[in-house]
Structure 1
Amino acid sequence: MTSTHSTTNIVIAGLGGQGIITASDILAEAAFRAGFDVKKSELHGMSQRGGSVTSDVRFGERVLSPMVPAGEADVLLVLEPTQIEINRPLLRAEGVLLTTDVIPPDALKNKKSLNVAMLGALSGVLEIDEDHWLNAMHAHLAEKLHRINDEAFELGRRCAQPD
């Protein structure tokens, strides 16, 4: 995806405990490894009790603010269906809405890897090399989780490919 402006704006939304912050950390690091200036912010709400969580990641040649302005998200990635309509106003008219519908329900070996599978789907619409994604994932996840998350990431990449 090439943004219509010099900054790419991504919003990741879901509920506390779904790995929203981890996913945004991985995305931010992958973009940084790809040579972009990166800014990130997050809103936790009642995140430890399953409340709404959003994280904004902005990257480009030069990024001044970490917050994605309303109506300017290039991609809205949502891990919890109840959060789609709540966050839809953040998405620009031509933006991409990525929901968990792209991942077959029984395809994940570990349901806790849904956030990483969704990053795999996201990787298909961003111009960041796969190596940067994998290196960022490995930097943020315990070594014992690398294999299962590598598989989840690849599943997301495959599932999000257009037929």
Structure 2
Amino acid sequence: MQQVKNIVIAGLGGQGVIKASDILADAAFRAGFDVKKSELHGMSQRGGSVSSDVRYGTDVLSPMVPPGEADVLLVLEATQVEINRPTLRAGGLLIGPDVIEPGALRNRKSLNVALLGALSTALEIDLGHWEAALHANLAEKLHAINEQAFALGREGATRHLGQ
């Protein structure tokens, strides 16, 4: 793995961008990495743009992903792709909501977790760390539905991203 992995998660207020970044940061921390995270809420309470940067590796000095240096851009809302594309490095991976087949999720609020499932196929973080992070960051009553969403995202990544 390169020294620092840079990931930007973007979407609209209420989609769970911050929760997704919390789960990612937790999984990376459980895997033994140094982790830094930052958030930009904007007009999130009114459905405006929200983004969160997560950086992890052996030694991370800053929580902010520099423009053009994101290894992965994970976008929960298609309208946010072009707005956030400048953060993605050349050759970086874009994961969008099209990874999940329409109507496949039992609960549309689990899209953030489903896309984390897709992301998990591209990162060097053990599946057990992801599962522990999901359980630690979500209410117990949500575990089963989100485990299914995560698995659906992993399957979608295989079909759409060739992961």
The alignment's TM-score, normalised by the length of structure 2, stands at 0.96
AA at the equivalent of 1:59: Y
Q: Percent identity?
A: 73
Match of 2:113 in 1: 116
Question: How far apart, in 1, do the equivalents of 2:103 and 2:50 lie?
Answer: 25
Aligned residues: 160
- Does 2:156 align with 1:159? yes
Question: How far apart, in 2, do the equivalents of 1:34 and 1:86 lie?
Answer: 31
Once the two structures are superposed, residues 66-120 of structure 1 have per-residue CA deviations (whole angstroms, 9 ceiling, x without a partner) of: 0000000000000011100000000000100000101001110010000000000
Counterpart of 1:29 (choices 26, 32, 35) is 26
Question: How far apart, in 2, do the equivalents of 1:159 and 1:79 lie?
Answer: 14
Aligned pairs for 1:43-58 (under 5 A) are: 43-58=40-55
State the 4+ residue runs in structure 1 displaced beyond 3 angstroms.
none
Question: How far apart, in 2, do the equivalents of 1:17 and 1:159 lie?
Answer: 23
Once the two structures are superposed, residues 118-163 of structure 1 have per-residue CA deviations (whole angstroms, 9 ceiling, x without a partner) of: 0000000001011100100100100000000000000000110128
Query: What SS is found at the alignment partner of 1:40?
Result: strand
Match of 2:35 in 1: 38
Match of 1:87 in 2: 84
The alignment's TM-score, normalised by the length of structure 1, stands at 0.96
Question: How far apart, in 2, do the equivalents of 1:36 and 1:108 lie?
Answer: 31
In structure 2, stretches of 5+ residues that fail to align are none
- Does 2:141 align with 1:144? yes
Query: What SS is found at the alignment partner of 1:160?
Result: helix
